[in-house]
């Protein structure tokens, strides 16, 4: 029987990075979250958000990516257990997806707090010709 425990920290790190990139390649929603994160980071640089705002944005981005990775791991584990339709398997997957929904909603609220006034001012300046 093959051992699953990594003997060295570098092995653990390599496997974690590999796992992240496998998830990015396989999961459409994770790609969408990463694209949104890049857009938000560019907007943060453009609007010169404060250090506190950066902390909030980085937290929001990380909590969404984290919940998406956990959701993916749960879905893969359930698929490993059963390929047949089972109501409890569907429920477990739906609950895991619900965690992503909650974290994404939190990220949207944080994004609104950080960017709302900046974007409204930006649009107002464009419309007024400034």
Q: Which residue in 27, 53, 68, 75 is the catalytic one?
A: 68
Concerning whether 87 is annotated as a catalytic residue, the answer is no
Contact in structure between 110 and 56 (CB atoms under 8 Å): yes
Pick from 107, 103, 126: nearest CA to 115: 107
DSSP assignment of 91-109 equals HHHHHHHHHHHHHHHHHHH
Rg (alpha carbons) of the chain, rounded to whole number: 19
Give the active site residues: 68
């Amino acid at each position: 029987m093959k051992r699953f425990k990594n003997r060295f920290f570098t092995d653990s790190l390599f496997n974690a990075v590999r796992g992240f990139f496998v998830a990015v390649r396989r999961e459409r929603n994770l790609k969408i979250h990463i694209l949104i994160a890049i857009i938000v980071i560019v907007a943060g640089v453009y609007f010169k958000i404060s250090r506190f705002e950066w902390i909030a944005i980085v937290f929001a981005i990380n909590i969404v990516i984290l919940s998406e990775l956990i959701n993916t791991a749960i879905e893969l584990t359930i698929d490993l257990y059963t390929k047949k339709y089972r109501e409890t398997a569907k429920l477990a997957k739906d609950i895991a997806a619900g965690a992503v929904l909650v974290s994404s909603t939190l990220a949207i609220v944080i994004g609104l707090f950080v960017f709302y006034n900046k974007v409204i001012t930006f649009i107002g300046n464009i419309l007024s010709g400034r």
